[in-house]
Structure 1
């Protein structure tokens, strides 16, 4: 499996490569955001490990450009460990987040989780080629093409946001727990990243134009999870 690591910490890049390569990963490294984007566009990678704090072009801007071109799994790193960084990264389309105090084993576990989720998403996409279109008032979910339209306008959803919406819509009227949703869209248990579902749901709601106190499609069920309103 081929990994692109974009990080200006050369020592850390060497340590990560030395640990991952015996595990079957080929790690290629870029030390700036610009170089990382050039390598990404020229190569075929299975995942990206992306630092937030990069010279000239920060990791958030790199992530924005990556998401305009690909749904490739992105694992973000930050030295600051701030919740704001985590939320911003997830809202921009990162698949997971890891503070730079991580252990090598944790990095490997997170990397395996995001790549497994992506592979599962791709498999579901292939299986949904003949899938039905879901229609709810002014919302249309075309499962064959994995596209969503609101009042006829195409929405720009991240892969995780689309998966969440599709899972909820296919179970319209039923309450789905955060545990269930995490397993359904990410193939991992909630204790790996217990607030990621809430962040993705918040971003999804914003793109659906929902008002926090008057949800049109996604309702929060207190202490339980979320329910799609048909």
Structure 2
């Protein structure tokens, strides 16, 4: 945690100070703060970040639009802080490249718990699967997933993949040809004891399909098993 860089973006100083204080108590030392989108983007451009907590309502730019700009520079995990609680707002956040969200008012301990859980999942996610010996490289012909390099290649071309989408895809690769429920996926990849929002998994499944499927509307690799969950198929023919 000593080398973990976290960016907090909010126009309320009290929130920044509160979350920063709790993070420092939990052993995080490299904490960056920004009160505007412009400040945040400058930090993103110059600092290797591991996690971003991003407020939706900023004085100079909408947090959703800022997320899109951030994605031009990094695939780091982004957690939205939002007072918006409708399904449309939540889905908008995911579509713009966000990975998770917490609604205001919130308990800073919950935010810190999510940060710790996500960083832990990123480091320790390890389940058996079809992997090439001595390499964390998963080859499905049409696409390959290089876990060590953090790369997804489709038809030989590198494809941009946000951190949370990549982690979910890796988990499927490690459990190839197994049916996984939404609850299993949420617990394993997001690191929470219970599923907070059904939309979270569904949107990330769609984001994977948009990258690996020849026709995302008719998936052949990442299949829906009605009433049970999802399955990444190694030999679909």
TM-score tier (shorter): 0.7 to 0.9
Compared CA separation, residues 144 and 129, structure 1 to 2 (3 A) = farther
* Superposed counterparts of 1:8-19, under 5 Å: 8-19=11-22
Compared CA separation, residues 177 and 11, structure 1 to 2 (3 A) = same
Question: 30-39 or 99-108, which moves further after superposition?
Answer: 99-108
* Counterpart position of 1:102: 106
* Counterpart position of 2:128: none
TM-score w.r.t. the length of structure 1 is: 0.81
* Superposed counterparts of 1:51-200, under 5 Å: 51-120=55-124, 130-131=134-135, 133-200=137-204
Where structure 1 has 5 or more consecutive residues not aligned to the other structure, the ranges are 122-127
Give SS of 1:191's match. coil
**What count of residue pairs does the alignment treat as equivalent?**
225
Distance across 2 between alignment mates of 1:100 and 1:65 = 23
Give SS of 2:230's match. strand
Q: What's the CA shift for 1:6?
A: 0.9
TM-score w.r.t. the length of structure 2 is: 0.79
Higher helix share: 1
Distance across 1 between alignment mates of 2:27 and 2:137 = 39
Retained in 1: the 8 A contact 2:65–2:96?
A: no
Give SS of 1:175's match. coil
Distance across 2 between alignment mates of 1:160 and 1:17 = 23
Give SS of 1:68's match. coil
Compared CA separation, residues 154 and 23, structure 1 to 2 (3 A) = closer
Compared CA separation, residues 103 and 5, structure 1 to 2 (3 A) = same
**RMSD between aligned residues:** 2.9
* Counterpart position of 1:6: 9
Retained in 1: the 8 A contact 2:77–2:162?
A: no
